[in-house]
Amino acid sequence: MWYILYMNKEVIYIEPEDDITDIITKIEKSKEKIIALVPPKKAGVFRSVVNIKLIAKSSVAAEKTVVIVTTDPSITKLAAATKVPVTKDLKTAPAIPKKDEEEVEVIREDVVEEDDDEEEPSEDEDEGEDAAEEDTNDSAEEDSETEDEEEPEQEDKKSKKKDRKSKKAAEKLKKAGGKITGKMKLRKKLIIFGIIGALLLVLALIWAFVIAPAANVTVEVKTTLNNFSENISFTSVITEENTDSGKFYLEEVKTENVAEKTFEATGTKNVGEKATGSVVVYSYFSAKGVNPVAAGTAFELGDKAFIADEGISLSWDGDQKECENDNIIVDGKIQCLISGRVKVTAAHAGSSYNIQASSSGWDTVANVAVYSDGAMTGGTDETITVVQQSDIDKAKNEIATSSEEEEKAALMSKIKPNTLVISSSFTTTTSDAVATPAVGEEVKEGVKPTIKVTTVSSIFSIDETKVKEFITKKAEIADDQKIYTIKDPFIDHFSKDDNGYTGKLKTSYSYGPEISETSIVEAVKGKGIGEATHNLKDINGVSSVNIKPSFPWVTFVPDDANRITVNLEVKE
């Protein structure tokens, strides 16, 4: 991370004539947070630990980080003492050099020099130092003929002076008991605090411009609603399915339910004895003929019916002698009367069939007239409760009414996910009811009759995912648009023909710009907020764009997609 920040630095080249004030002014005027100082080969300003400390303090006050670009070991040692980063060139990452024993002496020397007001050197030491300085000046004047000779002399004298100062500092430290004075401690603390402050500043810059920047992008798109209607067909063979041409596999779901219900029997039946007797049957013949009466023939008198226990045949062979006494003349023609007797039993039990002889009122049956010349007797009454058909029909209807919704619910529970149910295909078939006891049978006291009905229900469905893919392909929208929602597709006019089932697929869908959260991120990352907003608004169908940075100083969208939050709002 430090290397990334170091790449965005300002390089300041120090001129030989620049003093410490000029350097501090350049640091303060710089607009960059990291400054690389490149000293010249002969830069006396950078050979003083005090000047290096002033540079470090001014950089902290200006909230900047200063790096010295040098390979000079003396400058590197001073930078190590003041913890100022150093690098050998502009491409190498800077680092704070390690201190050695000589650097400790330099620090002590500087501290002792500033502590002169506490311990003054002796007059002899001053005189010796002044004499040494005078000797140095005199020798410098004598050897000033050439510049090449002067520099070694001066360097040697400076080294001797430095040794003297180091000895003086050591003596002062010895007199002080080898302990660092209060000012030395304060200076050391200030240096430490300065370094900590610089590190905190660097960390703050990293956080503010690398970690903290984020953006929340809200894009609102407006969709258009359109209706969809397309004829489709169905097949019950899965291999024949072809959704591209609108032919879908039709899956049938079935349920079978056996419902049992008790009911009240309301029928009654008289199981007493049936009345018996006989009737006379007769017929007039004008010519030869036969009028048969079969056993089981019902002879009715009002609401009473009597059943012939045996058959009889009335016939005439045309011989007048057989009917001389029992004949009539009709239209001048003789009608021969032939009669016979038939035993009968009442159709139902009961004393109401005990009737007196009746010569009239009987219905003619098969061209045979009837009358009774004696009473019908023997009928008795004994009433029981029985099941009648109307009781069964009523119970069956109640089962069908109560179970239809249950059958639908049972069918829907078997429907697979992502399935489009064809509601109009729902059918239910109820079998004939089976009653116990059966119709006409006696219901014993304390027993309720029951009915069992088997109901088979079925419904068809198709794959909804394939239906939506078909709608998406068939929908008429531009290439830069896409479908956002498909609202409850359904099948209308579902019917069966010779080729199978057909229907019409209907729905409505909303469409808008071809845009997604991923495409939004790609369109804005690494760009300024203004440019990113403009790019998104240029998309057809985008109604509004709002980009909110994480902090006021953030003026660009991060290049890291993980720091971009997208809210895509669809307005219909």
What's the confidence (pLDDT) of residue 320? 67
What's the confidence (pLDDT) of residue 466? 93
Is residue 185 situated within a structural domain? no
DSSP string of 328-342, one letter each residue: EEETTEEEEEEEEEE
357 and 457 in a single domain? The answer is: no
Is residue 484 situated within a structural domain? no
What's the confidence (pLDDT) of residue 328? 63
Between vectors from CA 207 to CA 204 and to CA 213, what angle results, nearest 5°? 135
Place of tokens 């049972």: 410
What's the confidence (pLDDT) of residue 327? 62
Q: How do the pLDDT tens digits run along the chain, 572 residues long?
A: 444 445 568 888 888 888 888 888 888 888 888 889 889 876 678 888 888 888 888 888 888 888 999 888 888 888 888 888 999 888 788 888 876 544 444 444 443 344 444 444 444 444 444 433 444 444 434 444 434 444 445 555 555 565 565 555 545 545 544 444 566 678 888 888 888 888 887 877 666 566 667 888 999 888 889 999 999 999 989 999 999 999 999 999 988 888 888 988 888 888 899 999 999 998 888 778 888 999 999 999 999 999 999 999 888 887 766 665 566 655 556 678 888 899 999 999 999 999 999 988 898 887 888 999 999 999 999 888 888 888 888 888 877 665 667 777 888 888 888 999 998 888 888 777 888 888 888 888 888 899 988 888 899 999 999 999 999 999 888 888 889 899 999 999 999 888 789 999 999 999 888 888 888 888 888 888 888 888 888 888 888 899 888 777 777 888 888 888 888 888 87
pTM of the predicted model as reported, rounded to 2 decimal places: 0.44
291 and 405 in a single domain? The answer is: no
Do residues 262 and 450 touch, judged by C-beta distance below 8 A? yes
Is residue 409 situated within a structural domain? yes
What distances in angstroms separate CA 70 from CA 23, 161, 289, one per listed residue?
A: 16, 25, 154
Q: How many domains does the chain have?
A: 4
Using omega within 30 degrees of 0 as the cis cutoff, is the peptide bond preceding 437 cis? Answer: yes
Instruction: State the number of CA atoms in the 13 A half-sphere of 208 facing the CB.
Output: 10
DSSP string of 464-500, one letter each residue: HHHHHHHHHHHS---TTEEEEEEEEEEEEEEEEETTE
423 and 362 in a single domain? The answer is: no
204 and 94 in a single domain? The answer is: yes
27 and 89 in a single domain? The answer is: yes
Domain stop point among 381, 402, 425: 381
77 and 157 in a single domain? The answer is: no
Query: Which tokens in the block code for residue 432?
Result: 């004939």
Residue 252 φ/ψ, nearest 5 degrees: -100, 135
Q: What is the pLDDT of residues 461-496, one digit of tens each?
A: 999 999 999 999 998 888 888 898 999 999 999 998
Owning domain of residue 350: 272-381
Residues 403 and 329: their CA atoms lie apart, in Å, by: 72
77 and 203 in a single domain? The answer is: yes
What's the confidence (pLDDT) of residue 161? 61
SS3 assignment, position 307: strand
26 and 89 in a single domain? The answer is: yes
Residue (of 222, 252, 305, 170) closest to 481 by Cα position:
222
Is residue 326 situated within a structural domain? yes
Query: Which tokens in the block code for residue 509?
Result: 């869908």
Domain stop point among 381, 402, 417: 381
What's the confidence (pLDDT) of residue 231? 93
360 and 281 in a single domain? The answer is: yes
What's the confidence (pLDDT) of residue 1? 46
159 and 259 in a single domain? The answer is: no
3-state helix, strand, coil in the chain (%, to 5): 35, 35, 30
Is residue 488 situated within a structural domain? no
Q: 147-175 and 101-114 are packed helices; what angle lies between their axes, rounded to 10 degrees?
A: 80
Do residues 282 and 337 touch, judged by C-beta distance below 8 A? yes
Do residues 555 and 529 touch, judged by C-beta distance below 8 A? yes
Number of neighbours of residue 50 by Cβ within 10 angstroms: 13
Do residues 53 and 111 touch, judged by C-beta distance below 8 A? no
Place of tokens 């069966």: 496
Between vectors from CA 571 to CA 570 and to CA 572, what angle results, nearest 5°? 120
Residues 89 and 69: their CA atoms lie apart, in Å, by: 6
Is residue 531 situated within a structural domain? no
431 and 448 in a single domain? The answer is: yes
Is residue 137 situated within a structural domain? yes
DSSP 445: T
282 and 154 in a single domain? The answer is: no
Do residues 232 and 504 touch, judged by C-beta distance below 8 A? yes
Is residue 570 situated within a structural domain? no
